[in-house]
Structure 1
Amino acid sequence: MSTASTTPLAEGAADGPVQIRTGPSGPRTRNATAYLLYVAGKLGGAAVSLLAVLVTSFFLFRIVPGDPIRTMTHGRPVSHEQMLQLRKQLGLDLPTWQQFTEYCSKALTGDLGTSYQFHAPVGDLIAQKFPATLLLTGVAVLLYSTLGLWLGTRSAWNHGGLGDKISTGVALTLWSVPSFWLGLLLIIVFSVGIGPIPGMFPTGGMESGDTTGFAYVLDVAHHMVLPVVTLVAVGYAQTLLVMRSSLLDEMGNDYLTTARAKGLRDDLVRRRHAVPNALLPTVTMVFINLGHVAAGSILVETVFSWPGLGGLFYQALSVPDLPLVQGLFVVFAGAMILMNLIADLLYPLLDPRVGR
């Protein structure tokens, strides 16, 4: 049973006392229950999304043109009986529904199958390539998220000015540029060299292969410059535009006028009041970008021959290596689902109105 305390609004108040409920059924209990229901709903949605990913990954890549058995045996004198035996070994002779049930049961236990092309467990191949993708995409995501948030905030706070027009115009232009085209352009200008501009960076790869220690670190950083610049140039624009739009929506609210009326400096009004309330859409964007760390950038890694998951996915798709393609697709989509879930769970901490 809950208790109640009585507190008058003011001396001689005409409306009488106000009942403030405390105890087990008070506001804290209701808020906690609402938040738990909110979390349960988000976890359930993530589970359904992951199940949809498993279904999609199985059936989507089976409509890709090409026979993996013929591709694997291309150029070899293989009889029809040997091809049938190989198809049986790989389980491709089973009915589709049986292949699907086996695939789902193994995937839920972490077994993503064995690669047709590399004859190795898919999980091991992903683990080998992931550090290179984490290094490249992680650095790029950190840079373009920070740059986009900072420029988006400045652009919105000084909207209509010259700086806003320039930054917004550049962002819109870069957002519309295909990443692979920009990567090829950077290779032509800064790797091959054009006119008076000499080639200053490698055309691809992650390392030269003949360095150790600190020289190796510098060598890898040298190889990272162009792909990171490509990812940052294309990626920061979206964060900038989302942050700018969110902050512009907040700038017309009365609480900012009240904060200024209290004598707060303009930069404090922006940092302490406007920006935190404009962060919700941008938080989603940042965590989606973090989800891209697992996926990397297939086109950019392919253009720069970066030895990461993006290049591995391209190789698997060209066969097609069904277990490897499916495994990579599940990892990519699973990372996005996880990051989106974390963003959803953080929303109530940024805005108490969420989850009630």
Structure 2
Amino acid sequence: MSRAASAAEATTGDPALAGPSAGEPRTRTAYTYARYVAGKLAGAAVSLFAVLVTSFFLFRLIPGDPVKFMTGGRQVSAEQLATYRREFGLDLPLWEQFTDYCGKALTGDLGTSYQFRAPVVDKITEALPNTLLLTGTAFVLYTVLGVFLGTRSAWRHGRLGDRLNTGLALTLYSLPSFWLGLLLIIVFSVGMGPIPGLFPTGGMESGGEEGFAYVVDVAHHLVLPVVTLVAVEYGQTLLVTRSALLDEMGGDYLTTARAKGLRDDLVRRRHAVPNAMLPTVTLIFVNLGRTVAGVILVETVFSWPGLGGLFYQALSVPDLPLVQGLFFVFAAAVIVMNTLADLIYPLLDPRVGR
């Protein structure tokens, strides 16, 4: 047997002398990703606790006495006011109220609403589907519209269509959503000049409708608030997608793809767009978190019975448990969606998290 064969046999037969196995790089990658995930989850947990603390102390700076609101402006005795304060725990020291709030929040109990005399979780659960219907519909529309127009503008940058798309997106994105909503109500609900009032001024339904007629009625009420959200929000997605794709368009791999004879449309769809989607993915997840939070101003302008309108109503009291619970839900939705985006990032680009 030759010296080389003997050495090979010895190396193969002795695990201590064998080189790194094929599974080691995969194991190392899994360990790196697990450590990355643990770090992101720990950061999210710290952020959620910070939100819990902030929501408790922040809204106690709001002027107003919730106990006087609960009396409905009636003249009541000091004993009755003391009874109300004792019923809702407002007579306890601040530190004791805080520890009680944190302890209950960890079990899913966000307290009892002052004005509705119902659990905060129940009020949030009741209004959540309405918010998801409104902002979820708008989210799908402005995401698809922004990504489509952003890729088209980037691929034809500098042309008339690109300039028009970018200019319109910047203009609409800079408009206050409540102002645009009021303008749409004046023009398309009240009516202006030759334009008749085509849509309801607010609310979610007219009442008295059932079955398919109810669906049509809700869709009719949905048009103007959805148009407001889409008009204001799609520009951000368009601009981010356009900017990311422009950065990718000078890549050598696109030149190679064209040199192989691929059509320009295939080069864009199969190569350029997937590599440019990382910033857009982050933005989509952030917007998805905001979808759960709702849009307070738009829901208030259109009297939409969602989380945003409920937050405005609770803030005017102030209904401290309801305001705190809604604020925590809003912030938690954004934190969770940001964390999910961070966890998906390494799967899309292995360089992230290394």
Distance across 2 between alignment mates of 1:161 and 1:234? 24
The one-letter amino acid paired with 1:321 is D
Tell me the C-alpha RMSD between the 2 structures.
1.3
* In 2: Cα distance, 1:20 partner to 1:197 partner: 79
State the alpha-carbon separation in 2 of the partners of residues 74 and 50 from structure 1.
35
Q: TM-score, normalised by structure 1?
A: 0.93
Letter aligned with residue 253 of structure 1? G
Matching residue of 1:48: 46
Q: CA deviation at 1:21?
A: 4.0
Asked if the contact 1:348/1:354 (under 8 Å) is kept, the reply is: yes
Displacement of 1:22 in angstroms is: 2.6
Which amino acid in structure 2 is aligned with residue 144 of structure 1? Y
Find the counterpart in structure 2 of residue 194 from structure 1.
Answer: 192
Counterpart of 1:342? 340
* Cα 1:116/1:27, change in 2 over 3 Å: same
Which residue is 1:122 aligned to?
A: 120
The aligned counterpart of 1:131 is 129
Structure 1 residue 23 displacement after superposition:
3.8
2:90 aligned residue: 92
> Contact 1:156–1:245 at 8 Å: present in 2 too?
yes
In the other structure, the counterpart of 1:270 is 268
Aligned sequence identity (%): 75
Task: Identify the residue that residue 228 of structure 1 maps to in structure 2.
Answer: 226
Q: Tell me the residue number matched to 1:218.
A: 216
Of 58, 61, 73, the residue aligned with 2:59 is 61
Give, in whole Å, the separation in 1 of the partners of 2:84 and 2:135. Answer: 38
**Pairs within 5 Å for 1:1-356:** 21-24=20-23, 26-356=24-354
Amino acid at match of 2:166: T
8 Å Cα contact 1:132/1:308 also seen in 2:
yes
Deviations 1:255-289 (A, max 9, x none): 21122122221111111111111111111111111
Structure 1: stretches of 5+ with no match in the other structure: 1-5, 7-18
2:311, 2:290 → 1: CA distance?
Answer: 14
Aligned partner of residue 350 in structure 2, secondary structure: coil
Separation in 1 of the partners of 2:294 and 2:37? 28
SS for the counterpart of 2:317 is coil
Q: Give 1:93 deviation, angstroms.
A: 1.4
Q: 1:20 and 1:203, CA in 2 relative to 1: closer, same or farther beyond 3 A? A: farther
TM-score under structure 2 length normalisation? 0.93
Partner of 1:12: none
| Mapped contact 1:148–1:238 kept (Cα < 8 A) | yes
Change (3 A) 1:306 1:260: same
Kindly provide the CA deviation profile for residues 60-82 of structure 1, in whole angstroms up to 9, marking residues without a partner as x. 10111111112222421211121
Tell me the CA shift for residue 251 of structure 1.
Answer: 1.2
Q: 1 CA distance for matches of 2:176 and 2:48?
A: 29
Query: Any idea what SS the aligned residue of 1:278 has?
Result: helix
Q: Number of residue pairs matched?
A: 338
User: Cα offset for 1:20?
Assistant: 8.0
Structure 2 residue runs without a partner (length 5+): 1-7, 9-17
Distance 1:301 1:151, change over 3 A: same
Per-residue CA deviations over 1:154-200 (Å, capped at 9, x if unaligned) read: 11111111011000000000011000000000000000000010000
d(CA) in 2 for partners of 1:213 and 1:77? 47
Partner residue of 1:16? none
> How far off its partner does 1:216 sit?
0.6
- Tell me which moved more, 59-68 or 254-263: 254-263
Q: CA contact under 8 A between 1:276 and 1:350: conserved in structure 2?
A: no
- As a proportion of its length, which structure holds more helix? 2
Residues in 1 aligned to 2:280 and 2:55: alpha-carbon distance in whole angstroms:
29
Aligned counterparts of 1:133 and 1:293: Cα–Cα separation in 2: 8
Query: Aligned equivalents of 1:67 and 1:84: distance in 2?
Result: 13
Aligned to 1:13: none
CA distance in 2, matches of 1:319, 1:40: 41
Which secondary structure does the structure 1 equivalent of 2:60 belong to?
coil
- Contact conserved, 1:152 with 1:244, CA < 8 A, in 2? yes
